[in-house]
């Protein structure tokens, strides 16, 4: 793999995301499609990306087929699988480029067959490029790409959109949303007072397999005073699990106000009274003590 910084390619503004993208190069330059160099005898020829046998190429020019902008941030890896035929002129370069904070490339000149590489998930664009080493036509030389399959072989069991825990009047409400689920057996909501030791509070069934947004809610009716932590754990049917980052919740309960004191006969008493005293509080609770 080589790195190059002197080329500036045009970056499209169409975002595509998912766990697999199959490009068969049936057409170019439409919305969400790859862009082509706009040169005679380049483009889609019989369902292939083509630098064909005729057409005028200029020495030192880069002729670029480029993808739209991709978003692989939710993927675990980015695997490219493609087929190609290549028989180029001496001095020309046929390369697979990817943009990851700069343009990097693999030299794929004169390779024939099916090939695979893995790219960083921070990659945002891909391109097939012919770097012309001479002016004129290709003298019956060519480069063809039959298809490009971009996939994540280890699809995440769930795509978590959000997870939150907020204090409410009745306790702490825990909410989360998923965009997709794969073989998801159940969720566990766990709680901790130190973010080190965790206790499972409840299990909620997953959807198995789903590709639409699903929202979940659980109310912790016995929360912990002070600061506590909640986190979400997901478990597959095969027992594999994934745990997500925790969130913190702080609960400061107001102490009830002492309304009055009475003796065991229900008569009001003051602080000077000696004996058994019943303290009555503003939250309708009471406490028996000796004063």
Same domain, 95 and 6: yes
**Domain extent at residue 203:** 158-251
What's the rounded Cα separation, in Å, for the pair 111 and 113? 7
CATH assignment of the domain containing 122: 2.60.120.260
Looking at the fold, whether 236 and 263 belong to one and the same domain comes out as: no
pLDDT of residue 77: 85
pLDDT per 10-residue tile (average), the chain, 291 residues:
42 47 87 83 76 75 90 85 90 93 94 92 94 79 89 80 92 94 94 91 94 94 91 92 90 80 88 87 82 84
| Domain identity same for 144 and 89 | yes
As separate numbers, helices (DSSP H) first and strands (DSSP E) second, the chain gives 0, 23
For residues 9 and 144, membership in a common domain is answered with yes
Give burial (CB, 10 Å; 0-12/13-18/19+) of 167.
Answer: middle
Same domain, 143 and 16: yes
pLDDT of residue 12: 39
* Strand pairing report for 103-107 and 93-99: antiparallel
CATH code where residue 235 lies: 2.60.40.10
Same domain for 120 and 211, yes or no, is no
The predicted pLDDT at position 3 comes to 44
* pTM for the whole structure: 0.53
List of E strands, 211-285: 214-220, 226-236, 241-243, 247-251, 258-262, 276-281
Q: 164 and 207 share a domain?
A: yes
Q: Are residues 39 and 131 in the same domain?
A: yes
Strands (E), 88-198: 93-99, 103-107, 113-119, 125-131, 142-151, 158-168, 171-192
The predicted structure's pLDDT at residue 54: 64
Do 140 and 77 share a structural domain?
Answer: yes
Q: Are residues 13 and 91 in the same domain?
A: yes
22, 72, 224, 238 from 184: Cα distances, Å: 26, 22, 29, 9
């Amino acid at each position: 793999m080589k790195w190059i910084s002197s080329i500036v390619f045009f970056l499209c503004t169409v975002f595509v995301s998912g766990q697999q993208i199959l490009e068969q190069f049936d057409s170019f330059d439409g919305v969400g499609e790859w862009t082509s160099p706009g040169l005679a005898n380049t483009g889609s020829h019989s369902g292939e990306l083509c630098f064909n046998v005729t057409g005028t190429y200029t020495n030192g020019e880069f002729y670029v087929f480029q993808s739209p902008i991709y978003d692989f941030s939710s993927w675990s890896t980015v695997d490219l699988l493609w087929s190609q035929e290549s028989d180029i002129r001496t001095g020309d370069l046929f390369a697979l480029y990817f943009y990851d904070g700069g343009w990097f490339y693999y030299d794929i000149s004169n390779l024939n067959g099916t090939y695979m590489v893995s790219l960083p998930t921070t990659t945002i664009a891909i391109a097939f490029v012919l770097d012309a080493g001479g002016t004129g036509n290709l003298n019956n030389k060519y480069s063809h790409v039959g298809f490009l399959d971009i996939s994540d072989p280890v699809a995440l069991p769930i795509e978590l959109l959000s997870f939150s825990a907020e204090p409410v009047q009745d306790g702490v409400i825990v909410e989360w949303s998923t965009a997709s689920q794969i073989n998801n057996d159940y969720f566990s909501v766990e709680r901790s007072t130190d973010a080190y030791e965790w206790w499972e509070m409840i299990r909620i069934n997953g959807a198995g397999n789903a590709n639409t947004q699903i929202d979940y809610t659980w109310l912790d009716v016995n929360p912990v005073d002070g600061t506590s932590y909640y986190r979400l754990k997901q478990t597959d049917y095969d027992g594999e699990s994934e745990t997500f980052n925790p969130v913190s919740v702080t609960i400061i309960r107001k102490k009830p106000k002492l309304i009055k004191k009475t003796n065991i006969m229900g008569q009001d008493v003051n602080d000077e009274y000696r004996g058994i005293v019943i303290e009555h509080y503003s939250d309708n609770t009471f406490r028996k003590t000796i004063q």
